[in-house]
Structure 1
């Protein structure tokens, strides 16, 4: 296997070598003898095998054993400065062009063991269930399509209405009165005919309705607002099937999303118990929590709200699918306040030791996979 240096620049400051690959990440390496700088200079000329690299370094007067060199390369790889030159392309120039910006974004997170092409290929083989194709849901769908998700199942029961045009850009005037899920299916197929789309026109009335759609699903994107029990149903179905889900929405000026990683994070039932304890308490904000639940429910999601939430939900889905970084909102509320310059807050949930769903999910997660003989 050959080793490649990502596009990088560096300069020296005394005994410190300052290296940049990502324009906003500065890496400082202690390099008093300039050995690391020499190594980077050699690799910048093109990919090399480890034995080839060692010979080049020896030619530059640097005596290094294979084990020492492998350790240095592992350290540089942990800083995301190296990559697998064989994993730069998807193998088809048309695909490389289609996913050009995806590949270069993923390149920032790639390593020798996990290439940018491998990340894109995971997305092409992924299956996402999108519950709801309204404001947030339709925004998420556009991002999923751009990322190249290979299979998308849609569920909605609503019809396109004039009020949707403030924030739902999949639809056109000619679509008024048509089922949203059918128009969303049509949009996805027109955007990228390779995406396998299945449209389900129905309401969610119980956890069973969600469970019936979870076969081979990698992540669920939940964007259904009614009935009020629906989030609990999604949580129950996904916890029992060990499928992560992400949920985004708005209440007043507060934009919020969260996710649940079964067996690893607290679930929504834990969060709801935490919320109930806050509401029942005597803290200064308890009254606000109690009173807010008595206000009429009004959809205030304007276009920028749906766009921001859709982007953040899509990012969280991306984290689950390719694990380029840990899920940010797993077992937590991530919020922005539209009345306070979109200041972001992160509020972790308190795990409920008595939560049956979490206990069962942890047991399933810890259970070794059965191996057929």
Structure 2
């Protein structure tokens, strides 16, 4: 039996003959209540009474109100996502998890109604298997976010050792770890931050698409923030996720901007599709790419911690929407740009699956999300 209550993130207060629900602009609502019946109804929505009991009590005190009107009022509150079902209990989470992820649950409740469970969303997070490529500046902050959200199953790959110049943005590490492998230090730090995370690590430099496939084959989703070798890594990752049908979120820092995108093989176009689309719209792009290949360009880092944090947050929020469905990823099939100077986020290009794409057509893909 459903036992509705107002969500813990939704304040309800009374001003004269008005009921104010919520406090956020665009979310808060005001209801006129000339005879006090709505205030009485709200007092009964406390997580202890079933809907049937609430209807009975309101009609008993206000005989002129019908059961249909009470039911309609509750449904209206539910449609505004003010209510949750207090009778719902988690399937897997115990008291420890409920307390550790309490704020997560409050956030997830913002996207649920009486028919949904915020616990299911958190449990989905806890059970999802992620392959992370890169634990440098962007990757280390993403890893922290993932661990904080409660992603308990992560396999991370990197090959670099820590250098003094890393510490302006790589917050996972300490100077005492200079010359040690980032991937090993990441495992030690995350195990202390959230001991529930099963973080498997791979110390390896990616040299081909097969390396990527070996790393991601047991995962459900892939996050790529590896940036070396600069001109090849995205193609190798793209080939691997398309062949294995793994949804991908990827991005990187470009001086004063960050860029990110996401793809679902079989549903969206891939990175190669994006190239075809961009080249078709601007013939100069192909010449630029060919010239960059000839000079073997390796990007020098100009990332600072607050900018990396903004991009990491945007990417993890995109990833969270992809995994849980609480929001549609803004970057799906789009190249999004985050301007670190203006804080604006916008699409700079978008693409569909291309019929002539050699990568998409190289294998039959079944999308996993």
Which TM class, normalised by the smaller chain length?
0.7 to 0.9
Change (3 A) 1:290 1:178: closer
Q: Distance in 1 between matches of 2:287 and 2:5?
A: 56
TM-score where L is the length of structure 1: 0.83
Change (3 A) 1:86 1:251: same
Change (3 A) 1:151 1:365: closer
Which one of 109, 112, 128 corresponds to residue 111 of structure 2? 109
Q: CA deviation at 1:155?
A: 0.2
Q: CA deviation at 1:275?
A: 2.4
User: RMSD across aligned C-alpha pairs, in angstroms?
Assistant: 3.5
* Residue equivalent to 1:369: none
Whether 1:211 and 2:203 are equivalent positions in the alignment is no
Change (3 A) 1:112 1:181: same
25-34 or 308-317: bigger deviation? 25-34
Which one of 141, 152, 175 corresponds to residue 173 of structure 1? 175
* Residue equivalent to 1:194: 196
* Residue equivalent to 2:143: 141
Q: Secondary structure at the match of 1:86?
A: coil
Q: Distance in 2 between matches of 1:171 and 1:40?
A: 53
Q: Is the 8 A contact 1:157 1:203 kept in 2?
A: yes
218-227 or 41-50: bigger deviation? 41-50
Match runs of 1:340-351 below 5 Å: 340-351=341-352
Q: Distance in 2 between matches of 1:291 and 1:341?
A: 32
Q: Secondary structure at the match of 2:130?
A: strand
* Residue equivalent to 1:240: 243
Whether 1:256 and 2:235 are equivalent positions in the alignment is no
Q: Distance in 1 between matches of 2:273 and 2:71?
A: 45
Whether 1:184 and 2:172 are equivalent positions in the alignment is no
* Residue equivalent to 2:59: 58
Match runs of 1:259-338 below 5 Å: 259-280=262-283, 297-338=299-340
* Alignment deviations for residues 290-322 of structure 1 (CA, whole Å, 9 cap, x no partner): 899688722111111221111111111211222
Change (3 A) 1:362 1:196: same
Q: Secondary structure at the match of 2:215?
A: coil
* Count of residue correspondences: 358
* Residue equivalent to 1:370: none
Whether 1:231 and 2:208 are equivalent positions in the alignment is no
Q: Secondary structure at the match of 1:48?
A: coil
Q: CA deviation at 1:260?
A: 1.2
Q: Secondary structure at the match of 2:67?
A: coil
Q: Distance in 1 between matches of 2:172 and 2:132?
A: 14
Q: Secondary structure at the match of 1:221?
A: strand
Q: Secondary structure at the match of 1:187?
A: helix
TM-score where L is the length of structure 2: 0.84
* Residue equivalent to 2:85: 84
Q: Distance in 1 between matches of 2:142 and 2:286?
A: 34
Whether 1:97 and 2:96 are equivalent positions in the alignment is no
Q: Distance in 2 between matches of 1:155 and 1:221?
A: 11
Q: Distance in 2 between matches of 1:292 and 1:157?
A: 28
* Residue equivalent to 1:371: none
Q: CA deviation at 1:349?
A: 0.9
Mind listing any 5+ residue stretches in structure 1 that lack a counterpart?
A: 367-373
Q: Distance in 2 between matches of 1:362 and 1:91?
A: 37
Q: Distance in 1 between matches of 2:334 and 2:222?
A: 17
Q: CA deviation at 1:64?
A: 2.3
Q: Is the 8 A contact 1:19 1:26 kept in 2?
A: no
Change (3 A) 1:39 1:242: farther
168-177 or 204-213: bigger deviation? 204-213
Change (3 A) 1:324 1:34: farther
Mind listing any 5+ residue stretches in structure 2 that lack a counterpart?
A: none
Q: Secondary structure at the match of 2:216?
A: coil
* Alignment deviations for residues 180-228 of structure 1 (CA, whole Å, 9 cap, x no partner): 1111111111222221111011122222222223344232110111122
